Amino acid sequence: MSATGHIRPRRLGPPEPSRELVPLRRLIVPHPLCWFRLGIADRPLVRRGQHVSAGDPLLERVRDPRLAELPLPRGIETPEPLTPVQRPSGDPTDTPVALHAEGPGRVLHAEAGRRVRVAVGRVAESILTPVAGTVTVLEPGAIGIRVEGTGIAGVVAHGDTVRGRLRLLVATPDAELRPSAVDVQGAGAILVAGAGLDVEALTRARATGVAGIVCGGIAGKDLATLAAADVRQRASLHPTSAFGVLVVDGYGRRPIPRAAWDWLVAAEGTEAGIVHDPPMLVVGPRVEPPESTDDVRIAAGEALGAEGRLLGSAGQTRSPSGLYRPMARILVPGVANASSMEHLVAFADLERVE
């Protein structure tokens, strides 16, 4: 038995190459391709090959779209699919077809008898791009932008695509955001909440005008509460401010991985954006990349989220189910003047974060 109380496994053969057994997780993505969904009645405001800056109009989103079949007035040629539909009293920005629709939308296809099927809604709002880059893909259902900057990948993104100044409200990646730390100074900013937050902090953030929150983990019930609040706000006729949440590691209380934390610290005070497809936080190209380390991260078990140096293979051990698992020796640095501790962890429970 080791000094830490762990039972040393019985070696069954020579140790295998250690680092090659640790799965790699790509957390930092340079120049990612971000996608923005186009609904059935939404209209793109960009063209392929166009360079866009953060804050430029990206698309016109139609709320509560529905299908309708309308007659085509005399003297008007049959419109092509995806042609914008503008109500007669509107002020079109391009060349829409003059149909007596109840609201803005797009033509889907023409039918026999000079009738067209359209998708229209009651209200249209302009969506601004949260990132800067080049429009490389423009399809009927999506817009793809090759971003100028670096993406910090997450596992869950909820709410709206938002952009704001990055602000750290916790001192360490395993700290938890207290609701009292959220105030009006965070209005329009994207807050970094550490290992987790509760529904009170989420509610306070939305009430004070926070643009978004980045956290290591979130409880499923809190995410469901947030989703229910979004449904109620979208059903109202009053416009609401955009709000987004990015979860970096998973559900529950999870420390932000060190590689992502170092990038967040380096980007503090700069403009960043939360996108949904893929879920990630995008920082600008002027952020200096932090120094990388060779540490590995424990991704499961009692020491979830701990990071340390891989000392090597410790052979194989038999699990209670009868399977033999290759084990690794991990030296985790101590905190608050505590000494470092060696852990025996299965290679399957480790990850290299880059």
Answer whether residue 13 is part of any domain. no
Can you give the residue range of the structural domain that contains 191? Answer: 150-283
Is pLDDT above 50 for 13? no
pLDDT in tens, 110-157: 877 788 888 888 788 889 999 999 999 999 889 999 999 999 999 999
- pLDDT band of residue 17 (cuts 50, 70, 90) is low
Answer whether residue 136 is part of any domain. no
Which pLDDT score is estimated for 200? 87
What is the pLDDT of the chain when averaged over all its residues?
84
Mean pLDDT of 275-304: 89
Which pLDDT score is estimated for 128? 93
Residues 191 and 310 placed together within one structural domain of the fold: no
Answer whether residue 236 is part of any domain. yes
Which pLDDT score is estimated for 8? 46
State which of 250, 283, 316 marks the end of a domain.
Answer: 283
Helix residue ranges per DSSP H, the chain: 199-207, 220-235, 258-267
Residue in the block written with tokens 């409200």: 169
Answer yes or no: are the C-beta atoms of 272 and 281 closer than 8 Å.
yes
Q: Which 8-state DSSP code applies to residue 262?
A: H
- What percent of the chain has pLDDT above 90? 34
Residues 119 and 172 placed together within one structural domain of the fold: no
Is pLDDT above 60 for 190? yes
Answer whether residue 38 is part of any domain. no
Answer whether residue 290 is part of any domain. no
Mean pLDDT of 76-99: 64
Three-class DSSP category at 21: helix
Residues 256 and 342 placed together within one structural domain of the fold: no
Is pLDDT above 60 for 294? yes
Contacts 24+ apart (CB under 8 A), 121-124: 121/41, 121/62, 121/63, 121/64, 121/65, 121/66, 122/63, 122/64, 123/62, 123/63, 123/64, 123/237, 124/43, 124/60, 124/61, 124/62, 124/63
Answer whether residue 11 is part of any domain. no
Q: What is the CATH number of the domain that holds 226?
A: 3.50.30
Residues 111 and 157 placed together within one structural domain of the fold: no
- Range with lowest mean pLDDT among 7-11, 39-43, 74-78, 222-226: 7-11
Answer whether residue 205 is part of any domain. yes
Residues 257 and 312 placed together within one structural domain of the fold: no
- pLDDT band of residue 93 (cuts 50, 70, 90) is very low
Alpha-carbon distance of 215 to 267, in angstroms, equals 15
Is pLDDT above 50 for 6? no
Residues 118 and 162 placed together within one structural domain of the fold: no
How far from each other are the two terminal CA atoms of the chain, in whole angstroms? 34
Residues 184 and 258 placed together within one structural domain of the fold: yes
Answer whether residue 240 is part of any domain. yes
Asked whether the CA dihedral 179, 180, 181, 186 is positive or negative, the reply is: positive
State which of 227, 252, 283 marks the end of a domain.
Answer: 283
Q: Whole-model pTM?
A: 0.83
Answer yes or no: are the C-beta atoms of 148 and 156 closer than 8 Å.
no
State which of 238, 255, 283 marks the end of a domain.
Answer: 283
Q: Domain total for the chain?
A: 3
Is pLDDT above 50 for 14? no
Residues 160 and 265 placed together within one structural domain of the fold: yes
Residues 183 and 305 placed together within one structural domain of the fold: no
Alpha-carbon distance of 159 to 157, in angstroms, equals 7
Which pLDDT score is estimated for 257? 92
Residues 265 and 334 placed together within one structural domain of the fold: no
Residues 196 and 234 placed together within one structural domain of the fold: yes
Residues 81 and 168 placed together within one structural domain of the fold: no
